[in-house]
């Protein structure tokens, strides 16, 4: 039997020391530009790509670029898993094994909550978790939200130096000509920091919850919101049932707001935290915050997906029923 290699601190500590020195050197050589925090996604195209009758002008934004990257990564992962599974009948390993563990865990959660409706609920639940997870984690890739165009802005900052002896003279000259300052328009920005994405995803989740409810109960599902069955037989209790149904209807619209702002608020706040700390203390601390944001991205993806799954499971059950 061959002995397995172990971590030898005496040898690998020099690699740790090297990365620490590189971190300090890079922070001293390339001064971080003061961050420009903007809620709305930045436009990469100054002219609209096309115009729609009701929506209006459609621009290419950096969050849209991030969404395309997320979709491409998901497609490549799916193709990689399919290729691995088609070539080998053994237990999948690597990417295929990791995704199998994740998918199996998500399906077991769905089955324990939704029962016989797990097959209908799981595809949407799993898709939401994977899309939101990659959308959150893309902000941890170096260069995302930090590499982009330098553009004039009335709310910008005077940039003294980006790359020493290269861009400093050009930028100082342009600022002196009348520009107030510069802001960085990143090429890629995490799509979860775009309220359009979170609201759209929340609407899909709520609408599909109603679809699952209709599939499970038919038109009887409407009695959850419009319950007039006992209003004449038992006026007081019937009126209370009517009020409860009205509150249920309001709660369905409230879910869109809570879903979208919970995801948007947590991921956007994390991005702002990385901006501020990275510009003030560019040594060590941003790395620790990235570990924290890694966990936040995972938790928010699971929360969004599991809440959707639980609401769908509840939609398959009638009033006073434990199953359908």
**Domain boundaries, given as residue ranges, for the chain:** 61-147+189-313
Residue 56: φ, ψ to 5°: 105, -150
pLDDT at 183: 76
Question: Computed from CA positions of residues 212, 215, 216, 219, in that sequence, does the dihedral angle turn out positive or negative?
Answer: positive
pLDDT at 322: 43
Q: Check: CB of residue 259 under 8 Å from CB of residue 206.
A: yes
Distance CA 289, CA 278 (A): 10
| Per-residue confidence in pLDDT tens, the chain, 324 aa | 444 555 455 556 777 777 777 777 777 776 666 667 788 888 888 788 888 887 788 888 889 999 999 999 999 988 888 887 777 656 666 777 788 888 888 899 888 888 888 888 999 999 999 999 999 999 888 788 878 877 777 766 666 555 555 454 445 445 544 556 677 788 899 999 999 999 999 999 999 999 988 888 888 878 777 776 666 666 666 667 777 777 888 888 888 999 999 999 989 888 888 877 777 776 766 777 888 888 999 999 999 999 999 888 888 876 554 444
Q: Check: CB of residue 72 under 8 Å from CB of residue 140.
A: no
pLDDT at 127: 92
pLDDT at 323: 43
Distance CA 265, CA 50 (A): 30
pLDDT at 1: 44
Please state, in angstroms and as integers, the Cα–Cα distance from residue 147 to each residue in 65, 80, 189, 269, following that order.
13, 29, 10, 19
pLDDT at 130: 92
Question: Computed from CA positions of residues 58, 59, 60, 66, in that sequence, does the dihedral angle turn out positive or negative?
Answer: negative
Outline where the chain has alpha helix (H): 9-29, 62-87, 94-114, 118-137, 168-176, 195-217, 235-280, 285-315
């Amino acid at each position: 039997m061959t002995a397995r290699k172990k971590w030898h601190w005496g040898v690998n500590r020099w690699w740790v020391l090297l990365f620490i020195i590189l971190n300090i050197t890079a922070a001293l050589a390339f001064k971080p530009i003061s961050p420009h925090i903007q809620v709305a996604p930045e436009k990469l195209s100054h002219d609209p790509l096309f115009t729609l009758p009701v929506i209006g002008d459609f621009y290419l934004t950096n969050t849209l670029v991030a969404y395309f990257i997320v979709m491409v990564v998901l497609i490549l992962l799916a193709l990689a898993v399919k290729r691995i599974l088609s070539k080998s009948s053994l237990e999948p390993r690597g990417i295929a094994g990791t995704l199998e563990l994740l998918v199996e865990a998500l399906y077991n959660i769905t089955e324990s909550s939704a029962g016989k409706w797990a097959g209908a609920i799981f595809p949407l639940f799993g898709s939401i978790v994977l899309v939101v997870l990659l959308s959150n984690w893309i902000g941890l890739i170096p260069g995302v939200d930090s590499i982009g165009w330098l553009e004039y802005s009335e709310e910008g900052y005077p940039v003294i130096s980006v790359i020493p002896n290269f861009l400093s003279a050009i930028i100082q000259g342009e600022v002196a000509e009348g520009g107030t300052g510069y802001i960085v328009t990143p090429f890629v920005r995490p799509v979860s920091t775009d309220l359009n994405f979170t609201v759209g995803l929340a609407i899909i989740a709520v609408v599909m919850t109603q679809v699952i409810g209709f599939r499970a109960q038919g038109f009887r599902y409407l009695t959850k919101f419009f319950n007039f069955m006992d209003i004449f037989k038992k006026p007081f209790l019937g009126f209370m049932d009517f009020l409860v149904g009205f509150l249920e209807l309001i709660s369905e619209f409230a879910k869109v707001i809570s879903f979208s702002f919970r995801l948007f608020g947590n991921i956007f706040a994390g991005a702002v935290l990385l901006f501020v700390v990275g510009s003030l203390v560019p040594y060590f601390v941003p790395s620790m915050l990235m570990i924290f944001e890694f966990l936040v991205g995972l938790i928010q993806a699971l929360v969004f997906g599991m809440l959707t799954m639980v609401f769908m499971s509840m939609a398959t059950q009638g009033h006073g029923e434990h199953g359908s």
